[in-house]
Structure 1
């Protein structure tokens, strides 16, 4: 059982929906209060699931709201859903973010030649389990792509749940190509085309769309973690012309934004505890099978 629990308020698929994370009844920030690293060696990382695999609602950490709940993105006054671009059905991985990372919009990356997008680093978790919004997964890093989204660097880390049956076989991006053939290509294609049904052009990538290896991805994560540390410690202002970040937290030492007043989940009003087993169906299998037919 995870030490972190998810509680939801508001009706699903509306602008009032919020998923908060709590620990021991106290509301915490999934952006700031959950540690990035889950072990002393810093080889296992915590990941916040925003969007479960095979779903379409564009959920995201609300970086500008107190305690940073997860909400559905809004465009032109309506909650946002991604389209099903053949042959894909919604998101093809558990999609989320690494806590305690920040893509600094004031800094231009020397290799992508673009500034950060002002968000935590995105994660595509490629394991077989379907996650749930607000779930905290322990993952290991495998590689990274660099999407150039409207002129900003938008890192996409590929990772796998350490409990997944395939985790022992996947230790770098070449292992993904070997054991899950076509997944890296499908990931690149998904990010390239997913906005096109809404009339937008195909997305572009740094590095010609190449998926960089684990070492490169790890460097990106450490750089963005250091940027977050500068932000949460007040070295970089939380509000500036280039960005606005809500930095209230409950357990970050040496942070000037650490709250001295606990916020209990009962103060949220009417809430629902998210039970990850509510939708479990005996015999259902949502995994992908990487097989080839010999003709």
Structure 2
């Protein structure tokens, strides 16, 4: 199963959007219409790449927008960029999300004692290749970190692209620790401090910041898939989330989006144009 993307609006501006299409060329939602699993029997998951490694723009699936395109997060009317917290440059992995998952804000997790963050579950892909924004890759899960972000459970799955040249060598979180020494420690450090330059306190973690193993991670992912199924079947309240989809909900569901409706929605956005330069302040380094 393959997917393509279509840029709309001007890059590095508030108008920029990245819409997804299926193999037939029809617009889809990356949140709802891309399957969670690429190979369920082998526990291989699809990952939507939101942020390529070493970049700073905080791009994310727009869960509240029709068709859930990727767009840049906004804070106080300005595009959001993560700071370079020495020695880290931008995001230190390919960062994204697993489709058809949802961290339910009404569910208090037994392990973290905190409710979900209302987003698809996040993934840090540690392979050697820098991926492209909007790319859908197949990943093998290695473990998970339980970050607590402003009182909410925000799981961070550690995974590797199955097409990575070294993928066969990585089958557990201990393999990451052995073959990429310092990477897991850097990951905890990054998540702990990345909001500090914005004036926020350091994040904390469940399990004293220890990574849980592959089996634990897969179980967490499958639980968030169950929460998503409850969301899409209207068993859970959607709130401000946009659950319109083109392939999951039945025709009589308010969440059903026809191909014509999807095409019209994209047509209402601006065609892709010349982008603005990235602000020079994004290259600033922060030390602590």
TM-score w.r.t. the length of structure 1 is 0.87
What residue number does 2:258 align with?
Answer: 260
What is the distance in 2 between the residues matched to 1:225 and 1:42?
Answer: 17
What residue number does 2:79 align with?
Answer: 79
Q: Work out which of the residue numbers 239, 246, 250 in structure 1 matches 2:246.
A: 250
Please list every run of 5 or more consecutive structure 2 residues that lacks an aligned counterpart in the other structure: 274-288
What residue number does 1:191 align with?
Answer: 191
**Aligned residues of 1:25 and 1:264 also touching (Cα < 8 A):** no
What is the distance in 2 between the residues matched to 1:37 and 1:100?
Answer: 9
1:55-94 Cα deviation digits (max 9, x unpaired): 0000011000000001100001100000101111000000
3-state SS of paired residue (2:5):
strand
**Aligned residues of 2:103 and 2:120 also touching (Cα < 8 A):** yes
1:272-293 Cα deviation digits (max 9, x unpaired): 59xxxxxxxxxxxxxxxxxxxx
Structure 2 CA distance for partners of 1:128 and 1:51, relative to 1, 3 Å: same
What is the distance in 2 between the residues matched to 1:264 and 1:25?
Answer: 10
3-state SS of paired residue (2:164):
coil
TM-score w.r.t. the length of structure 2 is 0.89
Deviation at 1:202, TM superposition (A): 1.1
Deviation at 1:254, TM superposition (A): 4.6
What residue number does 1:157 align with?
Answer: 157
1:237-264 Cα deviation digits (max 9, x unpaired): 222xxxx210000011558212234433
Note the 1:139-178 alignment, pairs <5 A.
139-178=139-178
Structure in which a larger fraction of residues adopt helix: 2
**Aligned residues of 2:10 and 2:272 also touching (Cα < 8 A):** no
Between 94-103 and 4-13, report the one with greater CA deviation: 4-13
Structure 2 CA distance for partners of 1:67 and 1:42, relative to 1, 3 Å: farther
What residue number does 2:205 align with?
Answer: 205
What is the distance in 1 between the residues matched to 2:11 and 2:149?
Answer: 28
Note the 1:111-122 alignment, pairs <5 A.
111-122=111-122
What is the distance in 2 between the residues matched to 1:268 and 1:173?
Answer: 45
Note the 1:1-295 alignment, pairs <5 A.
3-23=2-22, 24-239=24-239, 244-254=240-250, 256=253, 257-262=255-260, 263-264=262-263, 267=267, 271=271
Q: CA RMSD in A?
A: 1.7
What is the distance in 2 between the residues matched to 1:25 and 1:37?
Answer: 21
3-state SS of paired residue (1:264):
helix
Between 52-61 and 19-28, report the one with greater CA deviation: 19-28
**Aligned residues of 2:27 and 2:259 also touching (Cα < 8 A):** no
3-state SS of paired residue (1:41):
helix
1:141-183 Cα deviation digits (max 9, x unpaired): 0000011000000000000000001110001101111111111
**Aligned residues of 2:94 and 2:126 also touching (Cα < 8 A):** yes
What is the distance in 2 between the residues matched to 1:199 and 1:247?
Answer: 33
What is the distance in 1 between the residues matched to 2:85 and 2:147?
Answer: 18
Deviation at 1:124, TM superposition (A): 0.3
What is the distance in 2 between the residues matched to 1:155 and 1:98?
Answer: 11
3-state SS of paired residue (2:7):
strand
